[in-house]
Structure 1
Amino acid sequence: MLVVVLLLMMMMKSDAGAADIIRVSANSSTSVVLPSGQQEDPRTRGYDIRWTQIPHLLLNWNRSTCSHGRCSMLPDGSLEFSRLQTQDSGSYTLEVFDKTGSRLQTKDFLLQVTDHSSSHVVSSVSVCVVLLVLLLFFIVVFILRKRRVQRKMTTGQKEEKEENIYVVMKGCQGNKNNEEEKEKKLEKEEEPLYVPCSPTVSSQHEDSVYV
């Protein structure tokens, strides 16, 4: 039970420490200030201010400019960065001491520097991807519409062909019937006329001859 309580206390302390860290984000090639929170020049009160980039001492009143020249300490004790670079990212600690050397204040900062060029490249790539997706979408829609129109055209042509075949067959059948009627008429016209011979006429003629 005691172990659980100790673990909970340690977790609470770690959460409190994480909450006290001031997070600052900035892009490269820009400037940023880590504020000290002092209302006036601390040197008038005899305060000593130290900035530490763990674990090395970075700045104090005796050395107010960084070795790389991109940061300096302002009169109120704030830390100013100019022309930020990605290697400036890290943890920074502000400590304020009085004349006797007693520590009056401590502040922890977490500086996160983002490469502006890489973020610009990422944004441009994302824009290109979105445009490519939209282009593919429009191409697919165009292809589907074209296929639908082609299907309608093919079905219409099939229906027209079927109608033409029906008309042609009907016309052929009508021509055939007309030809049959013509042939029947011709047969009727070509039938020979049958004239019956009367035998009475011949017998009378013979009797007159004998007389």
Structure 2
Amino acid sequence: MHLNQLVKINQEGIVASSVNFGHLQDSEANLRLCKGFIFNYNSHKPENSTIGILDRLCGTYQSRTLPNIHLIVQDYGKGKSHFAVTVANFFQKGFDTPEVQGIVTQVAVAAGTSNPVAQRIKNYKQNQKYRHLVICLSGDHPGDLREQFLASLLQVLEQEGVTETIAQQLCSEPLRYLNSLSPEERKTGDDYLAEIDCPEGDIKQLIQLLEEHCLQAEVLNRYL
């Protein structure tokens, strides 16, 4: 018997460096990352393997009694970001998409097609009625985390075609109010903002920040 009869090469698997959530916007790179993530599985300690973690994440959405906060700690360069991009695609996209099909295939390669965990992950996705709204935040981006969350949330809602949410009104309603101010009211407002040394600037700058979806709602509440 030859070695190639016992071992099958994972031809889609890749070891990617410098992966970040920006790859989600690059369809070709994103698909390559999904098809190429190399899962591992430890049946004795499933929580120490990427397949076990993905299975736990699926379980979180199926049971209200299971923990819904998961912390992954690993050394630099061990694939945490690649795994995060893979998980984001798994929950965001439909079962029949090439991204999810690539992920499910890699799970089966690592654990075995007949493995109950691999089958459970596949069934979860196959039977999922509604897609999840996935918001990706990265701690290495400059700026306030709450500001980043609001900007990311608004971007995802727009991409998914979701409208009339409270999050979208956090910016639209104040923006409508500021644009309705008369010249005299604007001057009064600008004088007040200058008096308290508002870090966001004058009303014109507040409007610009709101239009870019980059201003925290609580900042606005302080001044309006």
Q: TM class, shorter-chain normalised?
A: under 0.3
Richer in helix (by share): 2
Q: Which has the higher contact order (CA 8 A, sep 6+)?
A: 1
**Higher Rg of the two aligned structures:** 1
Indicate the structure with greater strand content: 1
Taking structure 1 as the reference length, the TM-score comes to 0.23
Normalised by the size of structure 2, how large is the TM-score?
A: 0.22
